[in-house]
Structure 1
Amino acid sequence: MSSNQAVVATPPAFPMDRGCPYHPPAGYARLQQDGPITRATLFDGREVWVVTGYEEARRLLVDPRLSSDRSRPDFPVLVPRMAAAKLVALVGMDPPEHDIQRRMLIGNFTVRRANALRPDIERIVGGRVDALLAHEPGEVVDLVPEFALPIPSTVICELLGVPYGDHEFFEEQTRRMVIATSTAAEAAAASRALVDYFDELIAAKRERPGEGLLDELIAERLGTGQIGQDDLASMAMFLLVAGHETTANMLGLSVLALLEHPDQRARLVEDPAGRAAGATEELLRFLSVADEIQRIAAADIEVAGVVIRAGDGVYLPTAAANRTASTFPDPDVLDIGRVPRGHLAFGYGIHQCIGQNLARVELEIGLRELFGRIPTLRLAEPVEALGAKPGGSVQGVYRLPVVW
């Protein structure tokens, strides 16, 4: 058998669904048994490479021969809606265009900037916990709309200078863009609606400037001709969608995982201020909600005895890499005392998530305040009744009913 032949007789379907919301699909373990790089089949019959090994994923994520350019006609499409939802800014670009846009934004997403936002995030989180505590003890409350979603939505709106009063509109359009069950037509319509929204908002802000990152980009980049309005609208849409969707799912799923691991929840409740940051890092590794990183080979690449040919699609599921036993001992165990250095929850290389510092602060404060102020929090339904979002989506749950 040549090194480039599939290791399995019939490549399995990809993406794969999770059986349990906070564990990777069972199929990932079977793929890992066949080697760190194996073949899989997309919905349209196209065969692609799936990289499940940690070391191989890190190596490939910094290899310039793997392209992120989603404008390529041969870029692999994981689910039908991805062909229509045009989240191209940053994540769907290669250098030099990627580097130009990232330099425009990076100063607003540093560790220092994220820490400077802590008082505002604490105010937002505190207000959401206050609203939870206004419910009667024993009353069932859904933490997704009451806690997990409004926190990052409010934060990204304030950061960008987007009216929070429009949050129901953009949350609904985001859902249609990112959920795997959306049709291509639904995703395209949602994408167009958000771009049109930002076109109108940018025009209004040019007439009446306000405060926020979008206003700064209008004055410093659009006004000087460094970026066009169409590109700025696409960039703003990307920041808005990425800025609340992944963090909302991560926050909800983190709460669920802690409630399902009472020993780890007890450790956090015992010292929420001292352990929330460490718990956040381990939960990022353990949950890996932004799971399927996609690329296309621009040239032949040999790795782990396999030759990835130019034009081949490549998927790098972070939930598999972050559960690699040789890198993270007992990888399927949630241990908030673990120091999971080098996990790939935010990707790796030049496309590593630009908002990771902000997301960490939101998650840390959210977990600290929720479990610090409501230590008796518990699930109102068994986890089996909640289900999980389908593969090809940001991973999470649609609802999270709790009582205290």
Structure 2
Amino acid sequence: MTQAQADTAVKVPEHPSPRAAGCPFDPPPALQALQADAPVSRVRIWDGSTPWLITRHDHVRALLGDPRISSDATQPGFPHRSAGGKANDVSRRTFLTMDDPEHARQRRMVTAPFAVKKMEALRPSIQKIVDDLIDAMLAGPKPVDLVEALALPVPSLVICELLGVPYADHDLFQRNTRVIVRRHSTAEEVVAASDELTDYLDRLLTTKLARPGEDLLSTLATERVATGQMSQREAAQMGVLLLGAGHETTANMIALGTLALLQNPDQLALLRESEDPKVVASAVEELLRYLNITHSGRRRVALEDIEIDGRTIRAGDGVIFANDIANRDPEAFPEPDRLDLTRDARRHVAFGFGVHQCLGQPLARVELQVVYSTLYKRIPTLALATDLDRIEFKHDGIVYGVYELPVTW
């Protein structure tokens, strides 16, 4: 009997598994059990395949940095998130699902605009966006849905400005992004949503080629498409990736982070009362560790046999890195289930690790620092306007968060 047959001869747990009732901020109990007892183990996913699930923090970092682990979503054995995700991954390749050297070549085309210094230079304009939105909240009726009033507009306005996408079209890209990130969307629904977004970005690129501006899409049009380094369709697909990732993840983090802080008033007080930017920056890292909204894991496939924790991951085996439970590993973070804004959480893997770690993390950090350092000071009596058990969480999404967050003051 082969190792794979032996692994699947016993009961293989289904993945993803449900969170515990009443514990919306914690990873599923099944992940905690696997981390303790079988940190490298097989799980069964939507298509019946049984990739490996990696749950320990040190294993996640080691393997995500290992060149024998591939991000190529066209490889046999790649553990796609869903039927819709598979259709999208295979038909629309971006640097997220490529290996070096092609990954590095395409990623370099958009690395400079997201550099730390350039993102820091955006801080005043992000601060104005946040202040203006809070002004509108305070001037209007209450309670208010914080998702619609603040969490979604902040990153959407910022990424639109950065890319050169008209914010007036936000309904189009937000609606289609919701379809793409919903785990139960059909392949046809995901492909249709991706087509609409790609066509939209393609038309924008045509406009940028004729009348370039001071934005990232104009740079792609004039420096990459016009010179033949990439096709216009490839540039449009890259634009879809940047537009979706640039608003969806941060929006969920703003809302879910606020809810977590409201449930931990002692930690909220630390953040609200501090004037130290280092305290705010540290708080952002801890919230990223504690919540880890990319709760579907990083997906990879092994190119060669790899020995780890006494197990052999064979070439062609799918591998899922459960970064949510890795960020709750007690070997890496003492008392991991406690939200502690004074903790040094910088080694978290919320943004991944290795050459594929999140390109937009400098932007996300600045946005979160501005929101978290402003909202609770300007509205010190901010409170949840409903019961926690009445809030609908995004259990069905590849990005975790809340659909609405009713707040008052």
Q: Which residue of 1 aligns with 2:218?
A: 215
Match of 2:257 among 250, 254, 259: 254
Identity, % of aligned positions: 48
Q: CA deviation at 1:8?
A: 9.2
Q: State the distance in 1 between where 2:8 and 2:268 align.
A: 41
Q: State the distance in 1 between where 2:388 and 2:67 align.
A: 41
The verdict on how the C-alpha distance between 1:188 and 1:31 changes in structure 2, with shifts beyond 3 A counting, is same
Q: CA deviation at 1:233?
A: 0.7
The verdict on how the C-alpha distance between 1:15 and 1:110 changes in structure 2, with shifts beyond 3 A counting, is same
Q: Map Cα deviations across residues 32-83 of structure 1 (whole Å, 9 max, x no partner).
A: 1222211110112111100000111111001111111113354222222212
Q: Map Cα deviations across residues 79-120 of structure 1 (whole Å, 9 max, x no partner).
A: 222122346312111111100011111111111111011111
Q: Which residue of 2 aligns with 1:356?
A: 361
Q: CA deviation at 1:2?
A: 8.5
Contact 1:296-1:313 within 8 A present in 2 as well: yes
Q: State the distance in 2 between where 1:280 and 1:227 align.
A: 36
Unaligned runs of 5+ in 2: none
Query: What does 1:294-313 correspond to in 2, within 5 Å?
Result: 294-313=299-318
The verdict on how the C-alpha distance between 1:381 and 1:236 changes in structure 2, with shifts beyond 3 A counting, is same
Q: Map Cα deviations across residues 223-269 of structure 1 (whole Å, 9 max, x no partner).
A: 11111111111111100011111111111110010001111011112
Query: What does 1:151-166 correspond to in 2, within 5 Å?
Result: 151-166=154-169
Q: Which residue of 1 aligns with 2:190?
A: 187
Q: State the distance in 2 between where 1:133 and 1:96 align.
A: 50
Query: What does 1:237-276 correspond to in 2, within 5 Å?
Result: 237-271=240-274, 273-274=276-277, 275-276=279-280
Contact 1:39-1:49 within 8 A present in 2 as well: yes
Q: CA deviation at 1:182?
A: 1.4
Q: State the distance in 2 between where 1:126 and 1:247 align.
A: 17
The verdict on how the C-alpha distance between 1:378 and 1:336 changes in structure 2, with shifts beyond 3 A counting, is same
Q: Which residue of 2 aligns with 1:52?
A: 55
Q: Does structure 1 residue 323 correspond to structure 2 residue 324?
A: no
Q: CA deviation at 1:273?
A: 5.0
Contact 2:79-2:320 within 8 A present in 1 as well: no
Q: Does structure 1 residue 284 correspond to structure 2 residue 285?
A: no
Q: Does structure 1 residue 234 correspond to structure 2 residue 237?
A: yes
Q: Which residue of 1 aligns with 2:94?
A: 89
Match of 1:196 among 196, 199, 208: 199
Query: What does 1:103-142 correspond to in 2, within 5 Å?
Result: 103-136=108-141, 139-142=142-145
Contact 1:247-1:359 within 8 A present in 2 as well: yes
Contact 2:127-2:370 within 8 A present in 1 as well: yes
Q: Map Cα deviations across residues 280-320 of structure 1 (whole Å, 9 max, x no partner).
A: 11001101111310001111111111100111110001111
Q: Which residue of 1 aligns with 2:16?
A: 15
Contact 2:55-2:322 within 8 A present in 1 as well: yes
Q: CA deviation at 1:392?
A: 5.3
Q: State the distance in 2 between where 1:222 and 1:169 align.
A: 24
The alignment partner of 2:51 has SS state of strand
Match of 2:80 among 74, 77, 80: 77
Q: Map Cα deviations across residues 172-231 of structure 1 (whole Å, 9 max, x no partner).
A: 000000111212211111011111111111112112222211101111111111111111
Query: What does 1:383-398 correspond to in 2, within 5 Å?
Result: 383-390=388-395, 393-398=398-403
Contact 1:21-1:395 within 8 A present in 2 as well: no
What amino acid sits opposite 1:278 in the alignment? S
The alignment partner of 2:26 has SS state of coil
Q: Which residue of 2 aligns with 1:373?
A: 378
Moved more, 273-282 or 90-99: 273-282
What amino acid sits opposite 2:19 in the alignment? R
Calculate the TM-score normalised by the size of structure 1: 0.96
Moved more, 98-107 or 391-400: 391-400
Q: State the distance in 2 between where 1:184 and 1:134 align.
A: 43
The alignment partner of 1:84 has SS state of helix
Moved more, 32-41 or 108-117: 32-41
The alignment partner of 2:320 has SS state of strand
Q: Which residue of 2 aligns with 1:34?
A: 37
Contact 1:323-1:331 within 8 A present in 2 as well: yes
Q: State the distance in 2 between where 1:31 and 1:382 align.
A: 32
Contact 2:184-2:396 within 8 A present in 1 as well: no
Q: Which residue of 2 aligns with 1:344?
A: 349
Q: State the distance in 2 between where 1:34 and 1:102 align.
A: 38
Q: State the distance in 2 between where 1:67 and 1:175 align.
A: 27
Q: CA deviation at 1:272?
A: 5.2
Q: State the distance in 1 between where 2:347 and 2:263 align.
A: 25
Contact 2:78-2:319 within 8 A present in 1 as well: no
Match of 2:178 among 167, 175, 180: 175
Contact 1:386-1:397 within 8 A present in 2 as well: yes
Calculate the TM-score normalised by the size of structure 2: 0.95
Contact 1:379-1:402 within 8 A present in 2 as well: yes
Q: Does structure 1 residue 67 correspond to structure 2 residue 66?
A: no
The alignment partner of 1:176 has SS state of helix
